[in-house]
Structure 1
Amino acid sequence: MTDKPKASAAQRRSAARFAAIQALYQAELSQLSASDIVREYSDFRLDGEGGRDLDVSNEDLIDPDRGFFADLVQGVAARMVDIDALINGALEKGWTTKRLETVLRSILRAGTYELMAREDVPMRVVITEYVDAAHSFFDENEPKLVNAVLDRIGKNLRAGEAGQN
């Protein structure tokens, strides 16, 4: 069967986050602009032939929320200096974003942007989504690092929300 079940809004956002992490990684390595990356993904990766037939993960089976994807990629690019400053402040002494592996840096940047700019998404959801994404790429301590850094940033940016149980 080729018919896909209808994805929920949460599933479409999860797929958009995963695609955004990949796009941010590609943008950093290729030095392409955020708008060029969003256009390439929209034309060839999100619904085109490129990558859609690969059964790499569940995200390939779900149509990502395109607006959310574009907001994440372009938002990170537009606010990179502020995002990296927040990440640097949440990392252990002596560590900076420049020392982080590129995929890990992309995960933290997307999560930090979402904590900064997407107050419509609860802090817990943001942290959980990016920790889950980190588990897709890493087996070791990186998911714990993502959890710790985004938790520190979230408590700083969303103090009222962080105090809720």
Structure 2
Amino acid sequence: MADDNQSGGQTASKGKAKKDRGLTFRARTTARLGAVQVLYQLMMNPDRQVEAAVRDFLEQPPPVDPDAEQDATLVPPATELLSKIVRGVHAGSEDLDSMIDGQVTGPWNAERIEPLLRCLLRAGAYELLNHSQFDSSLLIKEYMTVTDGFFSEKEPKLVNAVMDRLAKQLRG
């Protein structure tokens, strides 16, 4: 039986299936949020080693905002998923940027995308490309949730539009 926090997988027990699905979903959401945070740290500190950044994040995650309107309890991240996203995005950032930049339209352009938003889009594009076990709609919703944690204006709409276009291009 896999540990949900390590693999993001589900347990074999049918009695716990519904509860475990929720826990697994939250662990994956937290992993995606954490991956974006680690990617941002790496973008701001390009000399930092990927493995060290992931390890440090997992050992000492950032504190949850006690003033947040929502429940401030975070489920520990699915560590394997977090690590895969960070390593994959870091290794393929140029290709991911080309894919993303080809989908940005309207008042947005590649130069206008700020670093944190770029990290969100890279992580989402990476998962659409490499994690076919997750439905496109689930990934888009997940990254919308993560984006909403950082932005409240036009950025969530941009993430939705870009990921939707990428999903259609990559997955048909």
* 1:127 to 2:140 alignment: yes
Quick one: which of 93, 98, 119 aligns to 1:80? 93
- Unpaired runs of 5+ residues, structure 1, are 46-50, 160-165
**Secondary structure of residue in 2 paired with 1:79:** helix
- 1:119-147 per-residue CA deviation (whole Å, 9 max, x = no partner) reads 01110001011111111111111000000
Structure 1 length normalisation: TM-score? 0.82
CA contact (8 A) 1:52 1:60 kept: no
CA RMSD of aligned residues (A): 2.1
* Aligned-residue identity in percent: 34
**Secondary structure of 2:60's partner?**
helix
- For residues 91-138 of structure 1, what are the alpha-carbon distances to aligned partners after superposition, in whole Å with 9 as ceiling and x for unaligned? 117711x43111111110100000010001110001011111111111
- The answer to whether the 8 A contact 2:40-2:115 is kept is yes
How many pairs does the alignment contain?
Answer: 149
Matching of residue 38 in structure 1 with residue 54 in structure 2: yes
**Counterpart Cα distance in 1 of 2:103 and 2:163:** 8
Question: Does structure 2 retain, via aligned residues, the 8 Å contact 1:52–1:61?
Answer: no
**Greater CA deviation, 29-38 or 122-131?**
29-38
SS of match in other structure, 1:135: helix
State the secondary structure of the residue aligned to 2:53.
helix
- Among 72, 76, 92, the alignment partner of 1:63 is 76
- 1:96-135 map, 5 Å: 96=110, 98-135=111-148
Q: Tell me how far apart the structure 2 counterparts of residues 11 and 131 of structure 1 sit (CA, whole Å).
A: 14
Q: Which whole-Å CA distance do the structure 2 matches of 1:157 and 1:19 have between them? A: 25
Change (3 A) 1:53 1:109: closer
Corresponding residue to 1:137 among 136, 150, 167: 150
What does the per-residue CA deviation read over 1:78-99, in whole Å, with 9 as the maximum and x for residues that have no partner?
1111100100110117711x43
In structure 2, list runs of 5 or more residues that go unmatched. Answer: 1-18
- Structure 1: how far apart are the matches of 2:123 and 2:71? 20
Tell me, yes or no, if the aligned pair for 1:83 and 1:109 is still in contact at 8 Å.
Answer: yes
Query: Which deviates more from structure 2 when the two are superposed, residues 52-61 or residues 67-76?
Result: 52-61
